């Protein structure tokens, strides 16, 4: 018998008086929450307990591999479900690794303490078993249906058994007990039925059978239960009797080894959710069986949202790698390129040698072949989604588009050709996302370029003066709002022969020859004044010129060369020392009344013209979403001008 203080730190001193221990204080709240809200679906408690039992069998199997003195026969490892309808107790027992007193205390006395996760971490680099548990909360889900839970357990290599018992958030007791064989027995004392809630059906044969098939069919150990069968009476020809027969409930065939046509969508979904800990079903399932120089089966999933740790440095990509149904590696990185790091799944190939070490795996020819075909499959699936289910694709792109764009840009665009058809951007005409292929296919006959404009939001871009002129020609414009967009586009350069053109580029060429000549003449005629304006801006711009691009707006900023204003913003905001400066050009609408005013001032009041130059430049910065470097000065100038 053990005793403990009712405190946060557990007192491990032993005494003869049995006292009830509290769950660690934070655990209590968690347990309440758990019972009431984490799972909306009570029935999953069975899945959780079965997964724990399977983990326990895996652990024992694993330990026996490294400890020859243990006489464990893998074939004897099994899980049993026992229904006791009279006492309303459902028991899940396993002959797995078991828990001793400390482990019962540690694993079941602290919620969100997952020993399975620790085990997995500790055995990371080895052929660790397929451990399902990770969150350390699964066990407690049984309180959704139980008024009391008992766990009788005896650890391998130990003589003593212990009984852990709890009636919910108030606490638990651990007492010494008897158990003939090693393993664990979890006894779930079902709650009483009420008018709204029926708990009894968890004792029914067919309910349990259905739940096992639904959630735990692919567990790799037999889940046994006594099933009522009708049998011919011995010695009789026509008289039947009902007998209880131990029957295996699960098929144990891993889902990926089953025939596609025998698998329902639900089965795929449940498998995915269970194995990859997602609360949402995947967007796409790619199940394939490949026979050839390298044969393998793979079951891949494209998630509908990014896992919580996806954008953290520690996120590890990879697929589970099995050889003949035995897990070799938890996350085989070589099977996925970085830009598809969001894909989850398993690959099983009998062509891989079980003895291969990690190092050898990296150069394994077979593995590279598999990786290549897998990449093609993922790509094709994504293209299919883009073409046939654009709503899903948008969801996908919202979650993982950055990864694709980064893939395009990364390594100087080495992979851009493999990924460019997966890019989508917001289109000014469609007012929705569009693929580059669709954009190019819908080009206006006269249109030479793929036009784009960047900014913080679609609304802000839509108001840019530079956008006006392109829209006036009835051309579609891609609105780039993600900071990676312009980098991806600049590395692409063109798509199917059509060049990308930034509407804010000073070289943007939309004019007819005639218009070009006309504006050139106006600029030439006012050369001196324009150069005076440029000097007034003290090197902030590389040029000031008149333009015929702007319809209503008086001024805009454009940029010359590689670095656009948007890129300047992005690069300078990065936590590196690198700072860049876009070469900006101040363009003035030649048809706007301001032009006459400027010309006049050049002849009458040059000081005032200087002030005008500063105000025009500052407003054009504001339009671009840039800040004004000298706000006080500009504010004073404006106040002076309006108070006259």
Q: Which is nearer to ligand ADP, 221 or 479 (CB)?
A: 221
- Restricted to residues 65-94, the positions that interact with ligand ADP (CB under 6 A) are 94
478 phi-psi bin (left φ>0, alpha ψ -120 to 50, beta other) = beta
Q: Which stretch binds ligand ADP (CB under 6 A): 48-56, 383-391, 399-407, 463-471?
A: 48-56
> Any idea what the Cα angle at residue 493 is, between residues 490 and 495, rounded to 5°?
125
* In the complex, minimum distance from the CB of residue 222 to ligand ADP, in angstroms, rounded to a whole number: 15
* In the complex, minimum distance from the CB of residue 91 to ligand ADP, in angstroms, rounded to a whole number: 11
- The partner residues of 231 in beta bridges, in order of sequence, read 241
* In the complex, minimum distance from the CB of residue 4 to ligand ADP, in angstroms, rounded to a whole number: 18
Distances (CA, A) of 170 to 6, 62, 166, 181, 440: 11, 35, 8, 30, 66
Q: Which of 175, 62, 172 is nearest to 127 (CA)?
A: 62
- The partner residues of 286 in beta bridges, in order of sequence, read 300
The rounded distance, in Å, linking the Cα atoms of 444 and 501 is 15
- The partner residues of 583 in beta bridges, in order of sequence, read 560
Q: Which is nearer to ligand ADP, 110 or 289 (CB)?
A: 110
Within 2-157, where are the H helices?
25-33, 44-66, 101-109, 115-122
Q: Is 101 strand, coil or helix?
A: helix
DSSP character at residue 588:
E
The rounded distance, in Å, linking the Cα atoms of 211 and 229 is 20
Verify binding: residue 138, ligand ADP, rule CB under 6 A. Answer: yes
Q: Is 502 strand, coil or helix?
A: strand
Q: Which is nearer to ligand ADP, 276 or 390 (CB)?
A: 276
Q: Which is nearer to ligand ADP, 137 or 478 (CB)?
A: 137
Q: Residue 94 is inside which H or E element, if any?
A: strand 89-94
* In the complex, minimum distance from the CB of residue 128 to ligand ADP, in angstroms, rounded to a whole number: 14
Residue nearest to ligand ADP (CB): 133
- The partner residues of 189 in beta bridges, in order of sequence, read 89, 148
Whether residue 383 contacts residue 421, with contact meaning beta carbons closer than 8 Å, is answered with yes
- Restricted to residues 8-47, the positions that interact with ligand ADP (CB under 6 A) are none
Within 414-444, where are the H helices?
416-419, 436-441
The rounded distance, in Å, linking the Cα atoms of 587 and 34 is 62
Q: Which stretch binds ligand ADP (CB under 6 A): 51-59, 371-379, 537-545, 596-604?
A: 51-59
Q: According to CB under 6 A, which one of 47, 80, 88, 96 is a site residue for ligand ADP?
A: 96
* In the complex, minimum distance from the CB of residue 53 to ligand ADP, in angstroms, rounded to a whole number: 5
Q: According to CB under 6 A, which one of 62, 139, 301, 500 is a site residue for ligand ADP?
A: 139
Q: Which is nearer to ligand ADP, 48 or 505 (CB)?
A: 48
Q: Which of 264, 269, 347 is nearest to 304 (CA)?
A: 269
* In the complex, minimum distance from the CB of residue 219 to ligand ADP, in angstroms, rounded to a whole number: 13
Whether residue 182 contacts residue 156, with contact meaning beta carbons closer than 8 Å, is answered with yes
Q: Which stretch binds ligand ADP (CB under 6 A): 25-33, 128-136, 255-263, 374-382?
A: 128-136
Q: Which is nearer to ligand ADP, 170 or 600 (CB)?
A: 170
Q: According to CB under 6 A, which one of 4, 31, 35, 137 is a site residue for ligand ADP?
A: 137
Q: Which is nearer to ligand ADP, 52 or 502 (CB)?
A: 52
The rounded distance, in Å, linking the Cα atoms of 36 and 19 is 27
Total residues binding ligand ADP (CB under 6 A): 23
Q: Which stretch binds ligand ADP (CB under 6 A): 130-138, 198-206, 277-285, 477-485?
A: 130-138
Q: Which is nearer to ligand ADP, 32 or 535 (CB)?
A: 32
Instruction: Give me the 98-117 binding string for ligand ADP, x by CB under 6 A, dash otherwise.
Output: -x-------xx-----xxxx
- Restricted to residues 165-184, the positions that interact with ligand ADP (CB under 6 A) are 184
Q: Which is nearer to ligand ADP, 63 or 563 (CB)?
A: 63
Q: What size, in residues, is the chain?
A: 644
Q: In the numeric block, which tokens belong to residue 392?
A: 């899903």
Cβ neighbour number for residue 607 with a 10 Å cutoff: 9
Q: According to CB under 6 A, which one of 56, 533, 555, 634 is a site residue for ligand ADP?
A: 56
* In the complex, minimum distance from the CB of residue 108 to ligand ADP, in angstroms, rounded to a whole number: 6
Q: According to CB under 6 A, which one of 30, 31, 34, 53 is a site residue for ligand ADP?
A: 53
* In the complex, minimum distance from the CB of residue 188 to ligand ADP, in angstroms, rounded to a whole number: 12
Q: According to CB under 6 A, which one of 81, 120, 133, 489 is a site residue for ligand ADP?
A: 133
205-216 vs 265-276: helix axis angle to the nearest 10? 70
Q: Which stretch binds ligand ADP (CB under 6 A): 131-139, 187-195, 238-246, 625-633?
A: 131-139
Q: Which stretch binds ligand ADP (CB under 6 A): 135-143, 533-541, 543-551, 607-615?
A: 135-143
Chain centroid, CA 601 distance in Å:
60
Spatial strand order in the sheet of 583-589: 543-547, 583-589, 555-560
Q: Which is nearer to ligand ADP, 186 or 419 (CB)?
A: 186
Whether residue 104 contacts residue 52, with contact meaning beta carbons closer than 8 Å, is answered with no
Q: Which stretch binds ligand ADP (CB under 6 A): 14-22, 95-103, 328-336, 430-438?
A: 95-103
Distances (CA, A) of 390 to 382, 405, 429, 531: 10, 18, 17, 51
The rounded distance, in Å, linking the Cα atoms of 163 and 170 is 17
Q: Which is nearer to ligand ADP, 56 or 501 (CB)?
A: 56
Q: Which is nearer to ligand ADP, 221 or 400 (CB)?
A: 221
- Restricted to residues 521-580, the positions that interact with ligand ADP (CB under 6 A) are none
Q: Give the chain's end-to-end CA distance (angstroms, integer).
A: 93
The rounded distance, in Å, linking the Cα atoms of 170 and 149 is 13
Binding stretches for ligand ADP (CB under 6 A): 48, 52-53, 56, 94, 96-97, 99, 107-108, 114-117, 133-140, 184
């Amino acid at each position: 018998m053990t005793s403990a203080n009712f405190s946060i730190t557990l007192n491990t001193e032993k005494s003869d008086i049995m006292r009830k221990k509290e769950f660690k204080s934070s655990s209590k709240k968690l347990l309440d929450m758990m019972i009431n809200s984490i799972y909306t679906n009570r029935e999953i408690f069975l899945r959780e307990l079965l997964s724990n039992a399977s983990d326990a069998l895996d652990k024992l199997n694993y330990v026996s591999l490294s400890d020859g003195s243990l006489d464990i026969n893998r074939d004897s490892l099994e899980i049993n479900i026992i229904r006791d309808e009279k006492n309303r107790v459902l028991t899940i027992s396993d002959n797995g690794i078991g828990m001793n007193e400390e482990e019962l205390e540690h694993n079941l006395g602290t919620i969100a303490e997952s020993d399975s996760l620790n085990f997995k971490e500790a055995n990371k680099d080895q052929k660790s078993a397929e451990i399902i548990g990770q969150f350390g909360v699964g066990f407690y889900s049984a309180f959704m249906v139980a008024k009391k839970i008992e766990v009788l357990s005896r650890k391998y290599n130990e003589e003593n058994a212990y009984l852990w018992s709890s009636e919910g958030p108030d606490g638990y007791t651990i007492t010494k007990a008897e158990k003939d064989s090693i393993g664990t027995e979890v006894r779930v004392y079902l709650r009483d039925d009420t008018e709204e809630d029926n708990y009894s059906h968890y004792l029914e044969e067919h309910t349990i059978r259905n739940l096992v098939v639904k959630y735990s069919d692919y567990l790799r150990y037999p889940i046994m239960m006594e099933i009522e069968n009708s049998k011919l009476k011995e010695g009789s020809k026509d008289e039947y009797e009902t007998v209880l027969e131990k029957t295996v409930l699960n098929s144990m065939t891993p889902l990926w080894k089953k025939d596609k046509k025998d698998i329902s969508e639900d089965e795929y979904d449940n498998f995915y959710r269970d194995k990859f800990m997602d609360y949402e079903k995947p967007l796409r399932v790619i199940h394939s069986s490949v026979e050839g120089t390298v044969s393998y089966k793979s079951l891949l999933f494209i998630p509908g949202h990014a896992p919580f740790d996806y954008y953290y440095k520690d996120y590890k990509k990879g697929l589970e790698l099995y050889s003949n149904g035995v897990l070799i590696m938890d996350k085989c990185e070589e099977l996925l390129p970085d830009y598809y790091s969001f894909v989850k799944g398993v690959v099983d190939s009998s062509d891989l040698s079980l003895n291969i070490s990690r190092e050898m795996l990296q150069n394994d020819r077979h593995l590279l072949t598999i990786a290549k075909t897998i990449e093609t499959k993922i790509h094709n699936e994504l293209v299919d989604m883009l073409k046939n289910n654009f709503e899903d694709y948008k969801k996908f792109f919202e979650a993982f588009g950055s990864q694709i764009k980064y893939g395009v840009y990364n390594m100087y665009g080495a992979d851009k050709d493999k990924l460019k058809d997966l890019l989508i951007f917001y289109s000014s005409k469609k007012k929705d996302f569009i693929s580059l292929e669709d954009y190019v296919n819908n080009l206006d006959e006269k249109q030479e370029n793929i036009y784009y404009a960047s900014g913080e939001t679609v609304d802000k871009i839509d108001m840019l003066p530079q956008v006006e002129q392109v829209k006036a020609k009835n051309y579609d414009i891609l609105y780039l709002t993600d900071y990676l967009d312009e980098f991806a586009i600049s590395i692409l350069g063109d798509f199917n022969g059509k060049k990308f053109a930034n509407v804010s580029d000073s070289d943007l060429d939309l004019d007819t020859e005639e218009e070009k000549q006309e504006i050139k003449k106006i600029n030439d005629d006012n050369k001196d004044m324009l150069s005076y304006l440029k000097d007034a801006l003290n090197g902030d711009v590389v040029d000031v010129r008149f333009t015929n691009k702007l319809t209503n707006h008086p001024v805009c900023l454009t940029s010359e060369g590689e670095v656009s204003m948007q890129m300047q913003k992005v690069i300078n905001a990065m936590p590196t020392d690198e700072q860049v400066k876009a070469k900006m050009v101040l363009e003035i609408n030649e048809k706007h009344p301001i032009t006459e005013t400027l010309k006049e001032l050049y002849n009458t009041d040059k000081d005032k013209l200087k002030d005008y130059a500063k105000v025009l430049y500052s407003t054009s910065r504001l339009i671009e979403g840039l800040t004004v470097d000298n706000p006080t000065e500009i504010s004073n100038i404006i106040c002076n001008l309006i108070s006259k």
